[in-house]
């Protein structure tokens, strides 16, 4: 209280250099995975395709909810847009595999007008509005006979392929989508933009007062999430070879995304990965129990939300301070409470 303090210099460093072990390990895993079609039967790679679809959805949903604070119950609309884009393009002669990135772009573009309509809404308003948009689009698609109407449509463009080749190509496309999604999200969050997002998540008013452009940041995240869901939808139609409006626009997809997020944890890059793994295992092992699998998973999700709000990865992080995908910062120098350094 008496003497003036000597000026303190503050240094900011990234929290752990991008873990080189993760990068090397990741590349190795990717290489092993890419070789799988030569090694295992198609049912294994099919399983992995479904896993990656879920992972893509969960990662992008986590971006929306965990970083932009937007709980959407309507991402399935972009799954549908992605799938139907592939259908239409393939009907016009495009290779379905090449159509996958285009489907992602289409879904991203489609999300822009929706964002203009919905992004000023908050909380429950936003959530249910996104759901209604998905329902409305689904109902509209049902009424378009050229898209298959109520019975659904088949993907024709892959008819000429040898099944093994087709499945391998599908699998590799899925690997590409999954890798791009996870790495892309990680890089996004590690960037300056990611810092803005964390600021918005933690304290929107405070973020605005230091100049973070809230609405455009949220819009960017919403479009990225839409594109991701579009890619997932494209993978879906390519792997299933048909699409049905009622099921692809169903809110069941949002249920999956939410459950994964609640189990694995929202707000980290690792959370959705862990959550997808566990959810997938539960889904596969309980698949023959019919409705029980959703009762069990749903109950687990509810319990997790209330007692372990940061999800399982949150528990791991709290205990071991592990970050495979470090996105935070360390503050050195101006420490007001010397007892613990601060990391975001």
Of residues 62 through 91, those in contact with another protein by CB under 8 A are 65, 69, 71, 73
Report the interhelical angle of 214-240 vs 76-91 (nearest 10°): 50
295 Cβ neighbours under 8 A, 6+ residues apart = none
104 binds another protein (CB under 8 A): no
DSSP 3-state of 243: strand
Binding mask 134-163 for another protein (x = CB under 8 A): -xx--xx-xx--------------------
Cα separation, 170 vs 157, in Å, equals 13
Residue from 78, 222, 259, 325 binding another protein (CB under 8 A): 259
Residue from 118, 177, 235, 248 binding another protein (CB under 8 A): 118
Cα separation, 189 vs 323, in Å, equals 13
124 binds another protein (CB under 8 A): yes
298 binds another protein (CB under 8 A): yes
Is the separation of the CB atoms in 16 and 327 below 8 Å?
no
Question: Considering CB under 8 A, how many residues would be counted as binding another protein?
Answer: 44
Cα separation, 213 vs 197, in Å, equals 10
What minimum distance in Å lies between the beta carbon of 24 and another protein? 36
Give 147's DSSP letter: G
Considering the complex, state which of residue 1 and residue 31 has its C-beta at the smaller distance from another protein.
1
214 binds another protein (CB under 8 A): no
What minimum distance in Å lies between the beta carbon of 297 and another protein? 8
Is the separation of the CB atoms in 93 and 242 below 8 Å?
no
Is the separation of the CB atoms in 60 and 181 below 8 Å?
yes
Of residues 265 through 294, those in contact with another protein by CB under 8 A are 290-292, 294
Strand intervals (E) in 40-177: 153-154
CA dihedral 101, 105, 108, 110 (to 10 degrees): -120
215 binds another protein (CB under 8 A): no
The two tokens of residue 240 are 């299933």
Cα separation, 117 vs 126, in Å, equals 10
Considering the complex, state which of residue 271 and residue 326 has its C-beta at the smaller distance from another protein.
271
Give how far Cα 76 sits from Cα of 245, 248, 253, 254, Å.
Answer: 11, 7, 6, 7
295 binds another protein (CB under 8 A): yes
Considering the complex, state which of residue 29 and residue 246 has its C-beta at the smaller distance from another protein.
246
302 binds another protein (CB under 8 A): yes
What minimum distance in Å lies between the beta carbon of 47 and another protein? 23
338 Cβ neighbours under 8 A, 6+ residues apart = none
Considering the complex, state which of residue 71 and residue 231 has its C-beta at the smaller distance from another protein.
71
169 binds another protein (CB under 8 A): no
Cα separation, 277 vs 294, in Å, equals 16
Kindly indicate which of the ranges 14-22, 116-124, 202-210, 313-321 contains the residues binding another protein, using the contact rule CB under 8 A: 116-124
Strand intervals (E) in the chain: 11-14, 153-154, 242-243, 329-332
Considering the complex, state which of residue 159 and residue 306 has its C-beta at the smaller distance from another protein.
306
Considering the complex, state which of residue 60 and residue 90 has its C-beta at the smaller distance from another protein.
60
112 binds another protein (CB under 8 A): no
Chain residues binding another protein by CB under 8 A are 1, 65, 69, 71, 73, 117-118, 120-125, 127-129, 131-133, 135-136, 139-140, 142-143, 251, 254-255, 258-259, 261-262, 290-292, 294-295, 298-299, 301-302, 305-306, 309
């Amino acid at each position: 209280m008496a003497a003036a303090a000597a000026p303190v210099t503050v240094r900011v460093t990234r929290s752990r250099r991008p873990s080189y072990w993760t990068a090397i390990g990741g590349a190795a895993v990717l290489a092993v995975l890419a070789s799988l079609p030569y090694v295992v039967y198609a049912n294994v790679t099919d399983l992995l395709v479904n896993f990656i679809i879920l992972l893509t959805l969960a990662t992008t949903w986590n971006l929306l909810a965990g970083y932009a604070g937007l709980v959407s119950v309507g991402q399935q609309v972009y799954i549908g847009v992605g799938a139907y884009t592939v259908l239409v393009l393939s009907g016009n002669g495009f290779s379905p595999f090449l159509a996958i990135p285009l489907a992602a772009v289409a879904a991203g573009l489609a999300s822009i007008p929706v964002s203009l309509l919905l992004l000023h809404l908050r909380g429950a308003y936003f959530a249910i509005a996104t759901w209604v948009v998905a329902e409305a689009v689904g109902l509209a698609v049902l009424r378009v006979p050229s898209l298959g109407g109520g019975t659904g449509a088949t993907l024709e463009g892959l008819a000429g392929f040898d099944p093994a080749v087709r499945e391998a190509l599908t699998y590799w496309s899925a690997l590409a989508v999954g890798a791009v999604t996870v790495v892309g999200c990680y890089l996004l969050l590690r960037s300056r933009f990611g810092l803005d997002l964390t600021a918005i998540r933690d304290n929107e008013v405070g973020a605005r007062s230091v100049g973070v452009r809230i609405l455009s940041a949220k819009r960017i995240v919403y479009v990225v999430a839409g594109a991701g869901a579009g890619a997932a939808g494209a993978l879906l139609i390519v792997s299933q070879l048909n699409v049905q409006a009622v099921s692809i626009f169903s809110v069941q997809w949002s249920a999956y995304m939410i459950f994964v997020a609640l189990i694995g944890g929202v707000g980290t890059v690792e959370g959705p990965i862990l959550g997808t793994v566990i959810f997938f295992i539960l889904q596969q092992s309980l698949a023959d129990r019919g409705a029980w699998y959703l009762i069990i998973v749903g109950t687990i999700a509810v319990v997790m939300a209330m007692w372990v709000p940061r999800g399982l990865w949150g528990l791991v992080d709290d205990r071991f301070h592990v970050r495979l995908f470090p996105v935070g910062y360390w503050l050195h120098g101006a420490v007001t409470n010397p007892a613990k350094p601060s990391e975001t």
